[in-house]
Amino acid sequence: MGVSIALSGNTVLVAGSGFITATHGAFQESSTYNWVTRIDLAGRSHLNAVLNAASRSGGAIAPGELVIASGVGFSPDALVIFDGASVVPVSRSGTDLLAPSTLSGVATVQVTSGGVSTNSLTVPVVDAAPAIFTNQSSSVPGGIRNADGTLNSPGNPAARGSVITILGTGLGVRPEAVTVYFDGFASSALLYGAAPGSPGVFQMTAVVPPQVPVSGRVSVYLTAGQVASQVVTMAVK
């Protein structure tokens, strides 16, 4: 007849009601009943994936990259452990955290929640795993700033030949040459480095090539060495 679910600390309360009908010869008798089930989540937290904080995709990570420990059942005091030693705070549902700059080869990632360890995941570590931040976390358009510092959008396009700023993560601790592609037209990054006050985030500037077509959905991606980011979009006039 109805079910309600509530979370209280590490306990899930599932409550509901129903009815049952019993037959006694020619007579039927119906009655309603209520029920409550308590599910204790303590010790049942689970690490699902380690995601790039900009692209929200899994796979290899780079040292110093901003990542997300995605999982369920994390307590408020949960900690993320890289290779058994490096510990970073994380929220109940998974939040941005900085992958240690000392990672190499393959990293083992685990979460301790309420004093109980989750499953562990092994994640390949590469020199660079670039990704571009977007306006809406996991989808296009890209979080790109125009030359005047305003956010690029179809209603606020960047001019061809102007300088735009891109925010991203995953360049690694020793970034290789970075190139930005606008609808396939290459533009070398003019400047790139750490974004002030944002650990794990890089910012770079690049010129919008004059050959790029006028459009509200110009594809943009970048490469660091031979590794490409995801594709986002921006508006060009």
Domains located in the chain, CATH noted: 2-40 (no CATH), 46-124 (2.60.40), 131-236 (2.60.40)
Which comes out higher in pLDDT, residue 187 or 23?
187
Mean confidence (pLDDT) of the chain: 81
Cβ proximity of 189 and 180 under 8 Å? yes
pLDDT for 48: 87
Q: What is the pTM of this model?
A: 0.76
Can you tell me the mean pLDDT for 164-186? 91
User: Which has the minimum average pLDDT: 35-39, 97-101, 108-112, 132-136?
Assistant: 35-39
**Would you place residue 1 in the very low, low, confident or very high pLDDT band (cuts 50, 70, 90)?**
low
Q: Which helix (H) or strand (E) holds 87?
A: strand 86-89
Query: Which pLDDT band holds residue 34 (cuts at 50, 70, 90)?
Result: low
Look at the alpha carbons of 170, 172, 173, 178 in this order and tell me if their dihedral is positive or negative. Answer: negative
Closest CA to 228 of 184, 162, 195: 184
From residue 190, give the alpha-carbon distance in Å to each of 38, 54, 145, 206: 58, 21, 15, 5
User: 14 forms bridges with which residues in the sheet?
Assistant: 5, 37
For 82-101, what is the mean pLDDT? Answer: 73
Provide, rounded to the nearest whole percent, the portion of the chain with pLDDT above 90: 42
